[in-house]
Amino acid sequence: MIYKFIDNKGTFTVRDPGRYNLYFPLTNKDGTLLGSISPNLGGDIKSDNSHFLTPPASIVDVRNNPLCRRDFFVKVNNKVIRLSDPHNDKLEAGFLYHKLTKKAGSLDIEILNFVPSSMAIEVMSIKITNQGPKAIDITPTSLIPLYGRGENTLRDHRHVSSLLNRIHLGKYGIFLKPTLSFNEEGHKVNKATYFCLGFQDNRIAPLGQFPTLDYFAGVGDLFNPESIKKKVKPVKKEKNQFQGKEVVAAFRFKDKKLRKGESVNYFLIMGIDSGSSKNSNQRIMATFSKVNSPAKIKRIFEQTKEYWRNYLSRIEFDFKDKTFNNWLLWVKLQPTLRKLFGCSFLPHFDYGKGGRGWRDLWQDALTLLITEPDKAKALLLNSFKGVRIDGSNATVITKQGGFLSDRNKISRVWSDHGIWPLITLGLYINKTGDLGILNKNTTYFRDHLLRRAKEVDPEFCQKDFLLRSKKGNIKVVF
C-alpha cells in the first residue's frame, strides 16, 4: 500500500509520491471550477470544455509537459530550486486539498492547493522556512501557464487563437481576456476573463511580471528560463508588445532575506470569471478581497475541510478497521466527484466530452439517494426525462441535467439500460415509502432515433429534445 491514513477523517500521506503516476481532484461543492493536481504540481484548471484556465492536460502531460504545471522558482545565490521537481517529498491529501512538503537544502517548503467549497477559485499557498544556521537571500518567481480558451484549440488553431489574447496587468496579477472564442463551427465574442493574482504574506504585491511565455523563457526554456537564470527585470505595466501571445502568470516577488527559523508565505489565487463582460475585473477583485490575507485563507481552508466532512457524515460505517473505514470515506465521495466532473474533466479524459452516461446517472443515484436524500426525488424525476416513448433512452447527460443522443448520432440501444431506472426507483420507494412518485408527470425524450433505433428521422432538428404531437404539443408521461 503506497498511502497511509493518519486520522479518522480520510486524510492520507504518501512518501516520495513522484514515484507513482498519481493525481488528485480539486473542486467546489457545485463543480463550477474543476482541477487536477499531481505530486509534480501537474494537471489543469477549467470550468468546462470551452474554458480552460491552464492548458488541457492528459495523463501523459501530467508527468511530462512543463506547460501543464503550476510552478514556483526560488533562486538561492546561483542555485535555482524549482518546486515542481522532487525534493524529498511527502504528500498529504484530504477532503478536498493537496499538500506537499519538501526539503531542499536548508529550506523546508510547504505547498497547499485547494478549491474553497463555496468559491470558484483555486488557492495555492507556498510557505518557505529557513532551517539552516545562516541567513540566506532568496529571489522568488511564480509560473502558472495560462491558456484561456477551449480544449479543441490545443490542436486546431493554437497559434492563431493566441493572437486573440489581450492582457491587463494589475497591481496583484494578470487578467487574460481573448477578444474571440472560435473553432471550425463559428466565431463568438469572448466574455470570459481568466486570472491569476498573487501576494506575499500580508498583501505585499509582486514587484512585477513576465506576462508571456516568450518573455519569461527568453532564449532559454521552461526548464532553464532566462528570467530566472539571469534575473531579468519584470514589467509593471502592460505593453502592446505582450498582446497576442501565449500568456503566463509569472510574478517576481521581492528578494527576501530569511534568517534562521524564519518563514515567508506566497499565495496565488486562480480562476475564471464567465459572467458578463461588464465589470468582470471588479467581480474578480471582489472575490480576491475574500482571500487576500493568510488569516482569510486559513479560515476558508478550515471551512472547506469542514464542509466535505459534514457532507460525508450523512452516512457512516464502522468496520473496526481504521484503514477500511477511511477508504470508504473516499468511496462515498466518488459518486459526487463523478457527478461534478463527468467522464471527461480529469487527466484520464478519454471517454466523452464531459457529460455522464445513462448508467453513470442511475448508478451514481444509488449512492446519492443516501448522501443527498433531500435532492433524491427531484433527481429521479429529472432522470426519467431521458426515456423515449419506445422505452429506450438518451445516453449522454449534460452537467445542467439535460439529455442528448450518443455523440455523433451513433444509432444504437444498450440492452441493460432499461433495468437501471427500475433498480434505482425501487430503492428510493423502499427507503422512503413514497409511492406517490409513481403518479408524477414528466416528459418523454425525443431525438432522431425511432423504434428502438431501427429507424432514423433525418429531418429531426428540435433543440429541446422533447416529444411533441403533430400539433407541436409536448407529450407527457402519466
pLDDT of residue 351: 53
pLDDT in tens, 382-415: 899 999 999 999 887 776 677 877 766 676 788 8
The mean pLDDT value for 70-85 works out to: 95
Quick one: 159 and 252 in the same domain? yes
Range of the domain at 86: 4-279
121-130: average pLDDT: 98
Hey, CA dihedral for 37, 38, 44, 49, is it positive or negative?
Answer: negative
Say yes or no to pLDDT of 349 above 80: no
Dist CA 193 CA 377 (whole Å): 37
Q: Is residue 95 part of a domain?
A: yes
For the cut 60, the answer to whether the pLDDT of residue 350 exceeds it is no
Q: Are 284 and 271 in contact (CB under 8 A)?
A: yes
Last residue of a domain, one of 279, 297, 313: 279
CA distance 320 to 186: 58
Angle, helices 322-341 vs 358-371, to 10°: value is: 130
pLDDT band of residue 94 (cuts 50, 70, 90) is very high
The pLDDT of residue 407: 64
* Proportion of the chain above pLDDT 90, given as a percent: 62
pLDDT one-digit tens code per residue, 255-286: 999 999 999 999 999 999 987 767 899 999 99
Distance CA 46, CA 341 (A): 11
Split at pLDDT 50, 70, 90, the class of 353 is low
* Exposure string over 335-363, b if 16+ CB within 10 A, otherwise e: bbbbbbbbbbbbbebeebbbbbbbebbbb
Name the average pLDDT for the chain: 90
Q: How many residues does the chain have?
A: 478
Q: Are residues 271 and 359 in the same domain?
A: no
Residue percentage of the chain with pLDDT more than 70: 95
CA nearest 98: which of 191, 150, 45, 23?
Answer: 23
What is the pLDDT at residue 182? Answer: 77
Q: Which three cell numbers stand for residue 47?
A: 470550468
19-59: per-residue pLDDT in tens? 998 899 999 999 999 999 999 999 999 998 889 999 999 99
**CB 149 within 8 Å of CB 160:** no
pLDDT for position 344: 67
Cα(first)–Cα(last) distance of the chain, in Å?
A: 52
**CB-count burial class (<10 Å; 0-12, 13-18, 19+) for 289:** exposed
Question: What would the mean pLDDT of 83-105 be, rounded to a whole number?
Answer: 96
Asked whether the predicted pLDDT for residue 236 surpasses 80, the reply is yes
392 in a structural domain: yes
- Judged against a pLDDT cut of 90, whether residue 368 lies above it is answered with no
Asked if residue 247 and residue 361 are part of one domain, the reply reads no
Residue 133 within a domain: yes
pLDDT at 340 (0 to 100): 87
pLDDT for 76 equals 95
Is-contact 229 204, C-beta < 8 A? no
**Cα–Cα distance for residue pair 341/352, rounded to 1 Å:** 12
Residues 249, 376 within the same domain: no
pTM score, whole prediction:
0.89
Within 173-296, strands assigned E span: 173-176, 180-183, 186-189, 193-200, 208-209, 247-249, 251-252, 256-258, 263-273
Q: What's the pLDDT score for residue 181? A: 85
- Averaged over 277-303, what is the pLDDT? 94
Question: Which CATH number characterizes residue 189's domain?
Answer: 2.70.98.40
Give residue 463's pLDDT: 82
Beta bridge partners of 189: 180
Q: Is residue 330 part of a domain?
A: no
DSSP 8-state secondary structure symbol assigned to residue 316: -
Task: Judge contact between 263 and 129, C-beta under 8 A.
Answer: yes
* Residue 243 forms part of a structural domain: yes
Residues 180 and 56 in one domain: yes
pLDDT tens sequence across 1-15: 899 999 999 999 999
Contact yes or no for 3/14 (Cβ under 8 A): yes
- Residue 271 shares a structural domain with residue 381: no
Q: Rounded distance, CA 33 to CA 272, Å?
A: 8
In this predicted model, which residue has the larger pLDDT, 388 or 472? 388
Q: Specify the 3-state DSSP secondary structure of 264.
A: strand
The most confident of the ranges 76-80, 251-255, 462-466 is 251-255
State residue 204's pLDDT score.
97
CA 19 to chain centre: 23
Task: Grade residue 341 by pLDDT with cuts at 50, 70 and 90.
Answer: confident
DSSP string covering 93-118 = EETTEEEEEEEETTEEEEEEEE--TT
- How many CA atoms within 13 Å lie on the side-chain side of 20? 13
**Model confidence pLDDT, tens digit, residues 420-461:** 999 999 988 988 899 999 999 999 999 988 998 888 888 888
Count: domains in the chain: 2
- From the centroid of its chain, how far is CA 465? 29
Same domain? 363 vs 229: no
What pLDDT score was predicted for residue 261? 96
Distance of CA 60 to the CA centre of its chain: 17
Do the domain assignments include residue 316? Answer: no
- Tell whether 284 is covered by a domain: no
Domain annotation covers residue 249: yes
One domain for residues 39 and 178: yes
